[in-house]
A and B are shown apart, each in its own frame.
Chain A
Amino acid sequence: MSTESYEDALKKLGELLSKKSDLGKVALAKIQKLTAELEELNSNKSSDAVERIKSGFIHFKTHKYLKKPSLYNALAKGQSPKFLVFACSDSRVSPTQILNFKAGEAFVVRNIANMVPPFDKTQHSGVGAALEFPVTALHVENILVIGHSRCGGIKGLMSIEDNAAPSKNVFIDNWVQIGTPAKNMIKQDFKHLSFTDQCSYCEKEAVNVSLRNLLSYPFVKERVMKNKLAIRGAHYDFVKGTFDLWELDLKAKSNPAFSFS
């Protein structure tokens, strides 16, 4: 009984009713009742979500907005954040919560695996806009790209087989391919490690790919050259409760990889 699908059950019902048409009236009443019950069950799911955001919003208004009227009045007129943050869409890694950003402090872009594609006039204009606006109009001083542990997007990237048939996740695969340089490096240098460990390394190397891609945007590069803008990478590990922070060593050729001392 439990392995039967509802389509099979409906089919059986239909066959029964076609043989015993006098059951039609009884069936009608029962079906209408069942439909109403299922509709109510369904609407509860949505109303739970609506109640959730309503209470969340009222909490925000009471405990944050109304407590600082001058701040929020000023923010209503304009913003001048110092930070531009790229973070993953993952529900566990809101940068506002992890780094305690107040309203108005950080312009935050969130996408799968916190990727920044290279500068390209035709594609990915969404990320281009999300870079151009805060850098050229809002004059942010810091760009931070934050990766994280157990990233589904990075796992997806690492799972893409070369020369395999396209998967059904067309949009996801198309997007995470931005991190292919990271994947190639990890597959080559760490092929002795388990898939899970490779993914962990890839989470960090993909941030480096994004940092390098940032410099392909002329308006970013120009400001970095003039010391008006700093770009840094980070990795939030919610398994261990740690936060790593680093920057690209652009003198890589002459210096060793790490300047520990």
Chain B
Amino acid sequence: MALTLCGRARRLVSATSIYNHGCLQRLQQTGSDRFQLGEAKAIRLLPRRTNMVQELGSREEFMQENIDTETSYDFLDEMRQRFLKFKRQKYLPQIEKFQALAIAQSPKVMVIGCADSRVCPSYVLGFQPGEAFTIRNVANLITPIQNGPTETNSALEFAVTTLQVENIIVMGHSNCGGIAALMNHQNHLEQPSSLVERWVMNGKAAKLRTQEVSSHLSFDEQCRNCEKESIKDSVMNLITYPWIRDRVKRGEVKIHGCYYNLSDCSLEKWRLSSDKNSNEFYVSNREIWS
């Protein structure tokens, strides 16, 4: 199958080809592990970027090639170790569960979290494979329907209408770089210069509310407030999608907001409720876990 893979991918790791005796022995020892690292091949896969690296002269090029080879080898080995650890500790011991999941997923929860390396929702909230459909973007922002299609609302559409999740959690966090960029952006009238600024400007309303009430606080404290206000806005933007709003009104979907504070490892959590009489939405059931 590897050989017929389309076009222009140079395969670093072979699934089934065995190159020398050393590799074959490893295959036998590790049984069904398909993730094989052929050392001979990795070294022979000389720097893929030589066509782009400028010609520095023969000696430098040789040194560069060796450095690249080492980096390439380390990366492969690291990925291999990581995957095999997952396979040995989680996948194989729960093989029946994974086989059932392979047929279909039916998560009850959808999480919209930040792409920040410190706040993986499955890590912090303990979701196991199959439990939570997860969207991660910068500053866990959800734009309203009137802004048009984005990668976030396409994932919302899939999770709510196809997978029919029952709970939506918007999870924000402290020390968010995206919110800091939003708070730092000086002039709202100017066209944002970077992609980050263009995206985080979707949180402009949260920033304005924050500045109205907490401009006397330090920048960091204002950012903390804005992070929470932004979660609320994202939650309210969920309701602009009729297929979410209808399901919330019918009680088929519950919406929750969460704020994870990295400094003290606390989680503030609340729910969105709707008033049956007035069609308004409001925050309820606020609690803090720490």
Q: B95 — nearest CB in chain A belongs to which residue? A: A241
Q: Which residues of A contact B72 (CB under 8 A)?
A: 230
A97 within 8 A of B: yes
Is A160 in the interface zone, CB < 8 Å from B? Answer: no
- Asked if B199 contacts A56 (CB within 8 A), the reply is no
Known A77-B175, A91-B134, A250-B51; judge A260-B166 contact (CB<8 A).
no
Given the interface pairs A171-B153, A171-B156, the reply to whether A133 lies near B177 with Cβ below 8 Å is yes
Q: Interface majority SS on B: helix, strand, loop or mixed?
A: mixed
B137: chain A residues within 8 A (beta carbon): 109, 111, 126-127, 129-130
Q: Is A81's CB under 8 angstroms from B117's CB?
A: yes
A238-B87 Cα distance, complex, nearest whole Å: 10
- B232 on the A face (CB < 8 A): no
Q: Are A241 and B138 in contact (CB under 8 A)?
A: no
Shortest distance from the beta carbon of B241 to any chain A beta carbon, whole Å: 9
Point out the residue from B15, B155, B175, B199 that lies within 8 Å of A244, measured CB to CB: B15
How big is chain B's contact interface, by range? Answer: 35 or more
**Closest Cβ neighbor of B81 among chain A residues:** A100
The answer on a CB contact under 8 Å between B199 and A108 is: no
Best-surrounded residue of A64, A103, A149 (most CB of chain B within 10 A)? A103
Check A58 against B289 for contact (C-beta < 8 Å).
yes
Say whether B151 contacts A205, CB under 8 Å.
no
Decide if B8 touches A100 in the complex (CB within 8 Å).
no
Please determine whether B151 and A111 come into contact, CB atoms closer than 8 angstroms: yes
Contact indicator A261/B19 (Cβ below 8 Å): yes
Bound-complex Cα distance A245 to B84 (A): 13
Residues 84-126 of A at the B interface (beta carbon under 8 Å): 89-94, 96-101, 103-112, 115, 117, 124-126
Fill in one digit per residue for B1-35: 1 if any A CB lies within 8 Å of its CB, else 0: 01101111111111101010000000000001011
Q: A77-B175, A247-B10 are in contact. Are A90 and B133 (CB under 8 A)?
A: yes
Query: Quick one: which of B9, B101, B102 contacts A247, CB cutoff 8 A?
Result: B9
- Decide: A249 and B198 in contact? CB cutoff 8 A: no
**CB of A54 closer than 8 Å to a CB of B:** yes
B105 with A56: CB separation less than 8 A: no
Contact of B123 among A48, A79, A103, A169 (CB under 8 A): A103
CB of B49 closer than 8 Å to a CB of A: yes
Q: Are A132 and B195 in contact (CB under 8 A)?
A: yes
Q: Do A260 and B124 touch across chains, with their CB atoms under 8 A apart?
A: no
Interface mask (A196-223 → B, CB under 8 Å = 1, otherwise 0): 0000010011001000000000000000
Residues of A near B133 (CB, < 8 A) are 89-91
Question: Do residues B116 and A79 form an inter-chain contact, with CB atoms below 8 A?
Answer: yes
Find out whether the CB atom of B92 lies under 8 angstroms from the CB atom of A241: yes
The answer to whether B120 and A96 have CB atoms under 8 Å apart is yes
Q: Is B158 on the interface with A (CB-CB < 8 A)?
A: yes
Interface residues of A in 141-188 (CB under 8 A from B): 142, 149-150, 152-153, 169-172, 174-176, 185-186
CB pairs A–B below 8 angstroms (10 shown): A79-B117, A91-B132, A98-B86, A108-B115, A112-B151, A175-B154, A204-B9, A205-B7, A230-B75, A244-B2
Question: Measuring CB to CB, which residues of chain B are less than 8 angstroms from any residue of chain A?
Answer: 2-3, 5-15, 17, 19, 32, 34-35, 40-41, 44-45, 48-49, 51-53, 64, 68, 71-72, 75-76, 79, 82-83, 85-87, 90-92, 95, 98-99, 101-102, 105, 107-109, 115-118, 120, 122-127, 129-138, 141, 149-159, 161-162, 166-167, 169, 174-175, 177-178, 181, 194-196, 198-200, 251, 254, 256, 258, 262-263, 265, 267, 269, 271, 289
